[in-house]
Structure 1
Amino acid sequence: MPIPTSITTRLEYQHKSLMDIIEGLSDQQIRRQVILGKWSIFENIVHLATYEHAFMERVQHILDEDQPQFQRYVAEMDPLFHDNCTKTTREIMQDLITTRRELIDKTLSLDDDQLKRPGVHPSFGAMNIIHWLHFFVLHEAHHLFTVFKLVPGARTEMDN
């Protein structure tokens, strides 16, 4: 049961579209709260970088434990999220890229038995590591699309 190419390709390249999406925006624009009460582009990027770390920990728990049960991940409850919000966009992007490489290397090194190991998601139930990887790239895609939708507002807000 190798990891499907549809997952490995997205793991390898999907996050790289972020630089294209935010190209030309200043740090001030990236940090601007475009929609009141919603995350800024920056906070979405911080969430993606921070969640990579949480996801790596979850994969390790799945490998080390028998059907670990996970709580819903809430960024605001993660001290790393708050710490990362104090960093620069460049630092967060570098962390995202570095951690992604580690995630790819880790998951591609897993054998079939390891990939079949389950962890229990609070909404989706027991999922093997391949299903967790599907979840990861779909979750990331959702936030990339959110950033894409915020960019015009970030530009407009600064132009006025």
Structure 2
Amino acid sequence: MTAPQVSYLVTVFNKAAVLGETLAAIRAQSGGASCEIVCVDDGSTDGSRALLAAEAARDPRLRVLGDAANRGPAIRINQAAQAARGAWLHPVDGDDLLPPNATQWLMAQARRCDAPLVFGRATRGLSDAPIPDSAESRRVTDPLRFAAR
């Protein structure tokens, strides 16, 4: 089996009300990149785990990890990353809504700058409008300045 280009890492804790919309936004990504969707449930009690199981039964690209313990998003995103097979990792929270070309745009920026890491802004309540090709993009010379040292 060929490894996917992109692994979406979806962390989920009690997101049943919006999770279907998040997964639909991931599936609607343009650009034709092959993908997998690695969902990690963090001990949800609202039916999120059952929803994920039903989605995985319908979509062979979707895998579900996690257990009944609530361990927090950092542990769960690391768990998803360890299970991922894609060349690129795209973290997504269980209630995020991606514009339809988000992944395509990020990958284009990575190729343009020959960057091993790209990230975009997170905004709640986005419309389904695509990111314009002219959207601001800048090269960060020290990406670790955003990290604790």
Does TM-score exceed 0.5, indicating one fold?
no
User: Which is helix-richer, 1 or 2?
Assistant: 1
Structure-2-length-normalised TM-score: 0.24
Asked which structure has the greater CA Rg, the reply is 1
Structure with greater proportional strand content: 2
Instruction: Give the TM-score taking structure 1 as reference length.
Output: 0.23
